[in-house]
Amino acid sequence: MKWFFGTILLLVLGVFFHLTLLVYSMYVLLGVLFASWFFTKIWTMGIEARRFSSEEVLEIGGKAEIKVAVQNTSRWSIPWLLLDDSLPNAALTQMPARIKAQGVRLTLTHLPPGEMEILSYEVQFIQRGYYQLGPLLAETGDMFGLHRHFRVLTEPHFAMVLPRVLALEGYSLSSRRPIGEIKIMHRLFEDPTRLAGVRPYQNGDPLNRIHWRATARTGDLQSRSYESSCVAGATLLLDFHSLSYSGPNGKNSSELAITAVASLANAVFLTGQQIGFITNGRDAADRIREEGWSAEFLTRKEAYHRASSETENTRLRPVVVQTAKGEGQFNSILSTLARLEFTDGLDFAAMLRETAPLIRRDTTAVAILGSVSAETAAALGVLRNLGQPVTVVFVSQAMEALPDWARPPEWAEMLLSENIDFRIVNSEESIQNLCAESLIR
């Protein structure tokens, strides 16, 4: 645009001072500028692209093969075309890297009419997450370098990398209080549609409970027994506020917390119990739906910023997976954990106050925390005083597995003052032994 303004200014000066040669030169330059702008626009609009990917859901360490086919559908030959398939810059450059890419995702090519160029590369995923692969950034311009135009081609592809799931040792029905109450000490009521078996008659059994066929066979009164409609399980409460995982080990501790939640959910699922999940983190899929990704760009810098920037996350609405049983429920929690991002908005205490009515009273509330404040301990204490079984898993990679309990850490004193059981996780090995350890009171 500045070329047009400069040319017009010189043209006006030439006319005003009767500089014929300058006027003719500016006419020619205006023609060149217009022609270069026109053809650059035509070349850009004639580009079409398609994206292909081998995987959408992967495990940590998995690889996805990405291919992007770019075709010139116009009648004009494109003299030069720069193609760059973008990847999240933070995931590539942070230490340690979350993803690694090998192959061709950046190329400069000449594209005749109807011809196709294919970008092919492979991405390896080192850590769990929800990764945006693409979009494709295309840049072209005239041969004089007067005009350049940028376009974002193809919708991006999203790869979901599931968190690591560890087997928990010592997760038995006989433990005093396993995480996620398994043994039901008191039945709330029975479901007469679910026959559990037959037992000897007890004083007070109603006549409609007597099993007459079994009574006739044994010669003694027998009563039906029914399954309890109260099933046990766990509601997992994860604090994923950015301030809860500060310090040099904060990032590693947060990933350890994700692994702990996934492993606990898997253990509860394998025993056939109900699981629920609540967190103050943010679902990356929700963020992308709200903020979008596509746009037209005037500069390459703006295109890169739009494709790879991370915006402030001030989410004030918790992520809730309602309590239920089954493989689908576990997979839903695992997918939510894969997409989970830090939040700068709702803290854990506020989240707990908001979602307390959603926590099933027949489950154990298991809070996975990276830090404990007075407000957090008080909120958990209120929940416990209402009759809800509460257990805390404190996650910190810098924490010793067995601190000096003669002088408990401040966070431990706050939990002890509320009479809340807790356990410490500082490594993947400690997660595996989480249910084998005795609870600290």
| φ, ψ (nearest 5 deg) of residue 257 | -65, -40
- Check residue 303 and give its pLDDT: 55
For the chain, give the longest Cα–Cα distance. Answer: 127
Do 215 and 270 have their domain in common?
A: no
- Predicted confidence (pLDDT) at residue 160 exceeds the cutoff of 60: yes
Look at residue 259 and tell me whether its pLDDT is greater than 80.
yes
State the pLDDT at residue 402.
Answer: 57
CATH number at residue 90: 2.60.40.10
Within a domain: 327:
yes
The answer to whether position 416 is within a domain reads yes
Structural domains counted in the chain: 4
> Does residue 273 lie in a domain region?
yes
Higher pLDDT, 288 or 28: 288
pLDDT band at 38 (very low <50, low <70, confident <90, very high): confident
Task: Provide DSSP, 87-143.
Answer: --HHHHHSSS-SEEEEEE-EEEEEE-TT-EEEEEEEEEE-S-EEEEE--EEEEEE-T
Structure tokens at 213: 């066929």
The pLDDT value given to residue 217:
86
- The β-bridge relationship of strands 233-238 and 364-369 is parallel
Task: Kindly list the distances between the CA atom of residue 286 and the CA atoms of 7, 290, 292, 334, in Å, as whole numbers in the listed order.
Answer: 48, 6, 10, 16
> Do 129 and 247 sit in the same domain of this protein?
no
| pLDDT classification of 437: cutoffs 50, 70, 90 | very low
Residues 49 and 60 in one domain: yes
- CATH number, domain at 242? 3.40.50.410
Note whether 382 and 317 are same-domain residues.
Answer: yes
Q: What was the pLDDT predicted at 214?
A: 87
How does strand 222-228 pair with strand 190-200? antiparallel
Within-domain flag for 193: no
**50-59, 179-188, 318-327, 356-365: segment of lowest average pLDDT:** 179-188
Tell whether 330 is covered by a domain: yes
182 within a domain of the structure (yes/no): no
Note whether 221 and 200 are within 8 A (CB): yes
Task: Give the residue with greater pLDDT, 406 vs 318.
Answer: 318
190 in a structural domain = no
Query: Kind of pairing, strands 364-369 and 390-395?
Result: parallel
pLDDT at 180: 47
Give the range of the structural domain holding residue 12, as residue numbers without chain letter.
2-44
Give the pLDDT mean for 303-328: 72
| Residues near 29 by beta carbon (within 8 Å), at least 6 away in sequence | 7
When pLDDT is averaged across residues 123-138 and rounded to a whole number, the result is: 91
pLDDT higher than 60, residue 44: yes
Q: Do 8 and 85 fall into the same domain?
A: no
Where are any strands of DSSP class E within 142-267? 148-153, 157-162, 190-200, 222-228, 233-238
Find the mean pLDDT for residues 241-263.
92
Q: Do 303 and 422 fall within a single domain?
A: yes
Residues 368 and 358 in one domain: yes
